[in-house]
Amino acid sequence: MTYKIATRGSKLALAQAQQVADALAGACPEHTFELCIIKTQGDLNQHAPLHQIGGKGVFVREIEQALLNGSADLAVHSMKDMPCEVTPGLSFSRVWKREDPRDVLVLNGAGSLRELPHGAQIGTGSLRRAYQLRALRGDLEVCGIRGNIDTRLCKMRETPFDGLVLAAAGLNRLSPECGTVQPLSPQEMIPAPAQGALAIQLRENDSALRAMLDALSDETDNFCVGLERAFLAETGASCHEPVGAYCTAAQNPVFYAMLGKETTERFVKKQVVLNREHAETQVRALAHAMRRELEAL
């Protein structure tokens, strides 16, 4: 049987979808897997900030429609781009092994964040990154930027930008030439929930395909990403509010969380050690506590 894999057409999206296709072809040689490129609203509008054109869902709606109408069998997304609400008729496989979840600072001349000159211009299209970056270096000028990784790197070279904040996962999957790269620890910058993880989406009733996908999942990352997504859902955050969440893969996981206001740069950050047996209850309670603390600011 031939399965069609829906994906966006960017280099990163194609690399991620091909990774899934290759893994499935290796595990299930009796089937073939083809990529099906679909343009989304987020691809067509490369200029407006994401929080102004509908948030994360702008990268997935057209792809989900392809699944629902049967023109594709599964879809590969970046999990961090997926809304918490599950579209009726669709579901996700268990999470596969994820890439490095950290954010990185790509520098255009300087050797580190500390070495950036006073007033340096740093590009990012994310409020979450912008808020935390200015908390690290209040003198920096954070500038909005959109586009795929190559576009952003090109803009950095052609404009006065002194650096960019990008996801480590995207750089690792594409390996572009980009100069000095400084990883940012969760203590410095808490990543987006599920950053680095792939979301593999399929029709809810396709049990045969689900079995193939789940056989390739990673138990630890499925646990950690599930907690990060649970925290995101429990915050009740809109697509305009910055949220960060990262769970370490340890026997006693450390959970890093960030929640900010849309209209000001006020935010709260927490770091807690989880009990694995009660971890989901803990992160949901943490979300409510942080929401109350944020509203009191």
- Write down the domain spans for the chain: 2-94+197-217, 103-184, 230-296
Q: Tell me the CA end-to-end span of the chain in Å, nearest whole number.
A: 57
For domain 230-296, the question of CATH label 3.30.160.40 is answered with yes
> How high is the pLDDT of residue 150?
87
Both tokens of residue 59?
Answer: 């990268």
How do residues 118-134 score in pLDDT, each as one tens digit?
999 999 999 999 999 99
How do residues 219-263 score in pLDDT, each as one tens digit?
999 999 999 999 999 999 988 899 999 999 988 999 999 999 988
pTM for the model stands at 0.92
Distance CA 216, CA 193 (A): 21
Contact 51, 127 (CB under 8 A): yes
> How high is the pLDDT of residue 100?
98
Residues with catalytic annotation? 81
How do residues 16-36 score in pLDDT, each as one tens digit?
999 999 999 999 999 999 999
| Amino acid letter for position 75 | A
- Give the chain's mean pLDDT: 93
DSSP 68-135: HTTS-SEEEEEGGGS-SSPPTTEEEPPP-------EEEEESS-SSTTTSPTT-EEE-S-HHHHHHHHH
Whether 280 shows a pLDDT value over 60: the answer reads yes
Domains 2-94+197-217 and 230-296 share a fold: no
2-94+197-217 has which CATH code?
A: 3.40.190.10
3-state secondary structure of 199: strand
> How high is the pLDDT of residue 291?
97
Distance CA 16, CA 34 (A): 13
Whether 47 shows a pLDDT value over 80: the answer reads no
How do residues 67-90 score in pLDDT, each as one tens digit?
999 999 999 999 998 989 999 999
Q: What's the farthest any 2 CA atoms get from each other in the chain?
A: 59
Cβ neighbours around 251 below 10 Å, total = 6
Q: Where is 163: in which H helix or E strand?
A: strand 163-167
Q: Where are the alpha helices (DSSP H) in 149-218?
A: 149-158, 168-174, 207-214
> How high is the pLDDT of residue 44?
62
| Of residues 95, 78, 135, the one with CA closest to residue 225 | 95
> How high is the pLDDT of residue 147?
85
Instruction: From the options 3.40.190.10, 3.40.50.2300, 3.30.300.130, 3.40.50.300, give the CATH code of 103-184.
Output: 3.40.190.10
> How high is the pLDDT of residue 294?
96
Q: What angle do CA 35, 87, 278 make, to 5 degrees?
A: 105
| Of residues 126, 132, 97, the one with CA closest to residue 225 | 97
Say how many CA atoms lie within 13 Å of 287 toward its Cβ.
22
> How high is the pLDDT of residue 68?
97
